Amino acid sequence: MRKKPSAPPETRLYVVGDIHGRLDLLTRLLAMIEANATQLTGKTKKLVFLGDYIDRGIDSRGVLERLTGSFAAGLEPIFLRGNHDEMMRLFLKGDLTVAPSWLQWGGAATVASYGVNAFNGVGEQKIDALYKSFSEKVPPAHQAFLEKTIFSATFGDYYFVHAGVKEGVPLEAQQPEDQLWARGDFLTSRTTYDKLIIHGHTISAEPEVKHNRIGIDTGAYATGHLTCLMLDGTKRAFLQT
């Protein structure tokens, strides 16, 4: 029988699901996390974000502005990259081929949050014009934030990733395509991995706790419920807006 997964010794992990432009919910959840973390003494406190900071919600700009700021209560932030963050990152680097999909999947809301008018249609000239106006409005700190996000992190017996992993591939050899986009096979797999997988990306009404994974994307942009998973030793608990 597999031992119960544990966080590293003397460490509490706070893991935040997909924010998707909901600065209001992020602000509320961070207040809850900071209040909890303030009560801890002598412990390392890591704050792991699972990515998808932007799109769909109305204030992606505000979310990135908050996340590029500081955190109270000794919290050490770790920022993973989500598929939506990757599309914005690529667009800002001049890869205009991602624009149609990105705008359709919520990117138009991100563009609007920076004060750039969304448009109907995705013609080449319109996309080029959008790129020029949007890239001028995004602060360098926001672009640098996206560039510095990472694809995965491991602490104790837990592996943190935005979307999931590919079965049969060692965790240390996972590829970005799966880490950012995994769904079908990953969600139905019964495989027990070397670590317990903690992920977002796929929405569930409540946190989805399985023997091999825990999903904490509770659809914040639509439901108003942004979820944080707390891990301390072998204990687990949730905070939620």
Q: What is the pLDDT along the chain (241 residues), one digit of tens a residue?
A: 468 999 999 999 999 999 999 999 999 999 999 999 999 999 999 999 999 999 999 999 999 999 999 999 999 999 999 999 999 999 999 999 999 999 999 999 999 999 998 765 456 668 998 999 999 999 999 999 999 999 999 999 999 999 999 999 999 999 999 999 999 999 999 999 999 999 999 999 999 999 999 999 999 999 999 999 999 999 999 999 9
pLDDT at 125: 66
pLDDT at 122: 56
Do 3 and 35 contact (CB within 8 A), yes or no? no
pLDDT at 93: 98
d(CA 48, CA 118): 32
pTM above 0.85, yes or no: yes
Do 20 and 216 contact (CB within 8 A), yes or no? no
d(CA 89, CA 194): 31
CATH number assigned to the domain with residue range 11-240, chosen from the 4 options 3.10.180.10, 3.60.21.10, 3.40.50.1970, 3.30.565.10: 3.60.21.10
DSSP conformation letters of the chain: -PPPP-PPTTEEEEEE---TT-HHHHHHHHHHHHHHHHT--S-EEEEEE-S--SSSSS-HHHHHHHHTS--STTEEEEEBPPHHHHHHHHHHTT-GGGHHHHIIIIIHHHHHHTTPPP-S---HHHHHHHHHHHHHHS-HHHHHHHHH-BSEEEETTEEEESS---TTS-GGG--HHHHHH--HHHHH--PPPSSEEEEEEEE-SS-EE-SSEEEEE--HHHHS--EEEEEETTEEEEEE-
- Phi-psi category of residue 196: left, alpha or beta, with phi > 0 → left and psi -120 to 50 → alpha: beta
pLDDT at 119: 67
d(CA 77, CA 84): 19
**Burial class (CB within 10 angstroms; exposed 0-12, middle 13-18, buried 19+) of 136:** exposed
pLDDT at 124: 65
Strand order in the sheet with 196-203: 152-155, 158-161, 196-203, 213-217, 208-209
